[in-house]
Each structure stands twice: as C-alpha cells, then as structure tokens.
Amino acid sequence: DADVTQTPRNRITKTGKRIMLECSQTKGHDRMYWYRQDPGLGLRLIYYSFDVKDINKGEISDGYSVSRQAQAKFSLSLESAIPNQTALYFCATSEGQGYREQFFGPGTRLTVL
C-alpha cells in the first residue's frame, strides 16, 4: 500500500550498531504501530502510538525505542542491534475512532550479523 511507506526496505548491519527504521503515511491516521514478523511466530507488537504525544510499549519492546516526529512519521530504533533482532519489520496505521482495520507498509527486512 503506497499510503504507508517504510525505509529502508532491506538492511544488513552488524551487532552493536544503531539502526533506525522509518515509517511515513499519507492516510491521515492518528494511530501508528510497529510489528516484527518471525517465521512461525506471526506478528508481534513492538510499540504503538495514538498520537504524537502518546507512545506505548507493545509486547516485545525491550531493545527497541520509537519516536513519533509528526502525525505522519513513526520511527523505530535499535540502539544496539543484536542477531536475534533479525526479522521482518512492519509499520501499520489505523484511524483513531473505534475498531478499525490496520493498514500495513511493505516491510523492512533487517539482518543483524
């Protein structure tokens, strides 16, 4: 979905490096989410944000941090990458009212050596 973009699409890095994954959306949605996908584990929520001043931890936030720079931008950082953070990372957005579907970005494949 071109309305939700992620950069980079692929990244290979080394243990200990700091990495930032970026997400931008043009859907005008208030809520944004970061997930990681691992084979056999589905998608797990890392962080979510209901608006610029409201950021919440998900089920697997250890080792990650986020920044909501604007309504349209939500970045995920790995302060010191480790190999078990190798995964596919997805950003998603949803409207703020009610129970709405989430719209996903194309994903970032991160490999930590």
Partner 1 sequence: AQSVSQHNHHVILSEAASLELGCNYSYGGTVNLFWYVQYPGQHLQLLLKYFSGDPLVKGIKGFEAEFIKSKFSFNLRKPSVQWSDTAEYFCAVSGGATNKLIFGTGTLLAVQP
The binding site for partner 1 (CB under 8 A) comprises 1, 31, 33, 35, 40-45, 48, 56, 58, 90, 92, 94, 98-107
- In the bound state with partner 1, the residue whose beta carbon lies nearer, of 19 and 33, is 33
Nearer to partner 1, 18 or 100 (CB): 100
- The beta strands (E) that lie in 18-101 are given as 19-25, 31-38, 42-51, 54-57, 64-70, 73-78, 87-94
Please give the Cα distance from 90 to 104 (Å, whole number): 7
Closest to 63 measured CA to CA, from 43, 49, 83: 83
User: Smallest distance, Å, CB 42 to partner 1?
Assistant: 4
Q: Rank residues 35 and 64 by Cβ distance to partner 1 and give the closer one.
A: 35
